């Protein structure tokens, strides 16, 4: 075994993670964080610049990896869109591995520089979605519709994260959501094509 004892910095981070997850960045209290780490309030400022820096230290790495991953996945998807479901599973694995940090970014970052980070991620996913749609379905699909469908899928996966599932369960559910989404997609493109024909007949 490596070391049961956490360094003070680690204790601080752990306590902060808990507090921010429970109350968000703005409503999280440094006092409570420090108390939870067995320190006095001032101690934070030895390890971190300020409250925001403490928060960022929790999510920075995860955010960077996520950004990079998203970049890779966007490229792939542009080249070989049929990998969509695999990507989904891979993404989900990542999210699950960094569960708490992702939740911090997703729901607790208001007031920090990561406030808009997830929204940005969602935008990229939406872009990939758009490409996919245009290539395999309805070239003239409403951009807003796509935005929303993308959002739906992302949110579904994040909801999964909030629940208390085992990795296996989560993956299983992810796959089923994938099936659902694909079916939904086909239905929608079919409907759109039919509508288009109707319009053209006139």
The site for a second copy (CB under 8 A) is made up of: 26-27, 142, 144-145, 147-149, 151-153, 155-156, 159-160, 163, 165, 169, 173, 176-177, 179-188, 190-191
The alpha carbon of 65 is separated from its chain's Cα centroid by a whole number of angstroms, namely: 12
| CB 37 within 8 Å of CB 62 | no
Q: Of the two residues 42 and 163, which places its CB atom closer to DNA in the complex?
A: 42
Minimum separation from the CB atom of position 53 to DNA (A): 8
* Residues 6+ away with beta carbon under 8 Å from 20: 28, 55, 58, 104, 108
Residue 131 binding: pick among DNA, a second copy, none (C-beta 5-8 Å cut-off by kind): none
| CB 108 within 8 Å of CB 24 | yes
Which residues are near DNA by CB under 7 A?
7-9, 28-32, 34, 38-47, 49-52
Q: Of the two residues 31 and 162, which places its CB atom closer to DNA in the complex?
A: 31
What's the DSSP call for residue 82?
A: G
Residue 9 binding: pick among DNA, a second copy, none (C-beta 5-8 Å cut-off by kind): DNA
Q: Rounded distance, CA 73 to CA 69, Å?
A: 6
């Amino acid at each position: 075994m490596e070391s049961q004892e956490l360094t003070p910095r680690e204790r601080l981070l752990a306590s902060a993670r808990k507090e921010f997850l429970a109350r968000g960045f703005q409503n999280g209290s440094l006092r409570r964080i420090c108390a939870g780490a067995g320190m006095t309030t001032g101690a934070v400022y030895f390890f971190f610049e300020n409250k925001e820096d403490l928060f960022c230290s929790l999510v920075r790495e995860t955010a960077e990896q996520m950004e990079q991953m998203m970049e890779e996945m966007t490229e792939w998807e542009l080249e070989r869109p049929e990998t969509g479901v695999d990507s989904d599973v891979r993404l989900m694995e990542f999210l699950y591995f960094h569960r708490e940090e992702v939740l911090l970014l997703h729901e607790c970052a208001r007031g920090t520089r990561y406030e808009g980070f997830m929204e940005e991620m969602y935008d990229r996913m939406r872009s990939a979605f758009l490409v996919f749609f245009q290539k395999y379905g309805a070239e003239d699909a409403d951009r807003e519709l796509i935005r929303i469908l993308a959002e739906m899928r992302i949110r579904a996966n994040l909801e999964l994260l909030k629940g208390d599932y085992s990795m296996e369960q989560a993956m299983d559910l992810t796959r089923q959501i994938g099936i659902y989404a694909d079916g939904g997609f086909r239905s929608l493109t079919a409907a759109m094509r039919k509508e288009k024909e109707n319009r053209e007949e006139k």
